[in-house]
Amino acid sequence: MKIKTISGLAFYLALLPGLVLAQHKIHFSITEQALFDNDRVIVQFNAQFQADDAQTVSQQVNKAMRQALNQLSDVERSFAQTGNYTVRPQHNRAGVITHWQGQQQLTLTLPVELDISALLARIQPYLTYQSMQADISHQKQQEAEQALIENALKRYQQQAKMIAKSFNQTEYQLLETHIQSQQQPRHFAQPRMALASSAMDSAPIIEAGEKMVSVTINGILVLQDE
């Protein structure tokens, strides 16, 4: 893990009415950021079918989803979630029902330790591939932010001392401190082969990649001139 530090600094002079002392209020910030390995891959499939009647559609969608889930072990099934079940009529321009169409979504949130390629190869004969993306889990996100905050706070205090020293002062006050974690966009997992929109000819090779996590600490430093 390589951590990068970014510092920002701005200041202005504020004269307090009725007081002899003047205060320098110096706004500054420290940003810590680092790349962390994604530890999960999120894959979405659909069970899709169309027929002349709603009952047939429902039966076929249920069958496809059941067959796909049967390919999963008990451990693998704990990472699966079904949703978005719909069966709807399709109409022509005259408003007459021409056929029925149904679908149900299957989302697999898989830890990278699993043999994901083999798992997807077992599912692809039954469901339609939709999307794949990599991310870090909530627990790892929290751990990453905590590590960055600890490092950022040390540099934040060092920066405050350095600013005071630049003004030939050893005494200063931190008036405000704000800690903000910044959510970066997810990095998509890039399979090494093209994926068709309707199905996969063969299982992809998964490269989960990395995600940038950053924490920014903003503060106001007060120096007093006699």
Report if residue 44 sits inside a domain: yes
Say if residue 65 is in the same domain as residue 98. Answer: yes
Say if residue 52 is in the same domain as residue 25. Answer: no
| Closest to 51 in 3D by CA, of 68, 37, 63, 35 | 63
Say if residue 44 is in the same domain as residue 130. Answer: yes
Say if residue 84 is in the same domain as residue 155. Answer: no
Q: How many folded domains does the chain comprise?
A: 2
- Per-residue confidence band for 184, with pLDDT thresholds at 50, 70 and 90: low
Say if residue 100 is in the same domain as residue 123. Answer: yes
Give the model's pLDDT for residue 60.
96
Q: What pLDDT, in 10s, does the model give residues 72-122?
A: 999 999 999 999 899 999 999 999 999 999 999 999 999 999 999 899 999
State the Cα–Cα distance between residues 221 and 226, nearest whole angstrom: 17
Phi, psi of 35 (to 5 degrees): -90, 130
Please report, as a single letter, which amino acid is at residue 15.
Answer: L
| Residue numbers of the domain that contains 130 | 40-135
- Per-residue confidence band for 15, with pLDDT thresholds at 50, 70 and 90: very low
Evaluate if residue 128 carries a pLDDT over 50: yes
Say if residue 50 is in the same domain as residue 126. Answer: yes
